[in-house]
Amino acid sequence: MNAEEKSGKKIVVLFSGGLDSSTMLAQAVQEREEGEEIIVISFLYGQKHKKELESAKAISKHYEVEHKLVQLPQLEGSSLTSEEEIESKTEKEALPSTFVPGRNILFLALGAAQGFMRSTREEKLEIWIGATAADQEGYPDCRIAFMEKMEEALKDGLDRPLLKVKSPLVKLTKKEIVLEAVKLGVPLELTWTCYEGGEKPCGECDSCFFREEGFREAGVKDPLKE
C-alpha cells in the first residue's frame, strides 16, 4: 500500500434506496477521489416498506460500491414500524407519525462504528446522512443542530478527531433533489420511496406525495409512474 492509498478517506453512506439517499450516494461517487472508499449501509429496523432494501441493493450494485445490511431490533413508536400510531402528548409537541424515535441516532452511531473499523485515527472518516430541507420542521433528528452535536459526540466517543457527519441534501427541496438526481444520472427507476411495500408506489402516502410533487415541480417524469 502506498502513502496515497493510506491517507484515503472513508465515506460511510447511510442508505435507504430512496430518491434522497440515492442522490446522495451519486454525489459521493462523483466526489470520490482516488484511494477513497465508499461503504454503503442499509438498516433493517422493522420497517413495513422493506422493498426499499431491494432498491438499496440494486443501486449499490449499479454504482459498484460495497453494500452492507445491518439488522436492528424492531424500532417501535412509529407508523412505519407498526400498525398503531403513537399519539404525541400535546399539539405543540406533535411529531409526524412516521418519526421513528432514535432511528437517526442509531444509524449515525452504527455507521460511525462501521467506519471506525475500516479506518485509522489519521484517516478522514465521513458519515453521510440524507436529511433534506423538508425534514427540518418535523423531524428533530434531521436538523442541522442535531447533526453537529452527533458529530461532536462521535468524535469524542470514538476518539476520531477527523470524523465528520455530513448531510449534503439538508438545504435542498424535493424539486432540487430531483434535478440533482437527473444531473448525476441516478437510476431513478431503481429507487423506492413509498412507505407501503406494494408492487407499485401507492400514490397516497406522504412519501409518495412529496416524491410526486418534487418530480412535477422539476418537470421530470418519474419512471416509476410509467
Least distance from Zn ion to the Cβ atom of residue 191, Å: 13
Closest to Zn ion by CB, 81 vs 114, is: 81
Distance of alpha carbon 203 from alpha carbon 63, whole angstroms: 28
Closest to Zn ion by CB, 76 vs 206, is: 206
Q: Which secondary-structure segment (H or E) carries 66?
A: strand 66-71
DSSP-based three-state secondary structure for 37: strand
Residue 67's Cβ-count burial label (10 Å; 0-12, 13-18, 19+) is buried
Closest to Zn ion by CB, 18 vs 201, is: 201
The 170-209 contact track toward Zn ion, x by CB under 5 A, reads ------------------------x------xx--x--x-
User: What distances in angstroms separate CA 117 from CA 41, 129, 166, one per listed residue?
Assistant: 14, 19, 19
Least distance from Zn ion to the Cβ atom of residue 111, Å: 26
Least distance from Zn ion to the Cβ atom of residue 185, Å: 25
Distance of alpha carbon 163 from alpha carbon 223, whole angstroms: 37
**Contact between 80 and Zn ion per CB under 5 A:** no
Closest to Zn ion by CB, 70 vs 202, is: 202
Point out which residues bind Zn ion (CB under 5 A): 194, 201-202, 205, 208
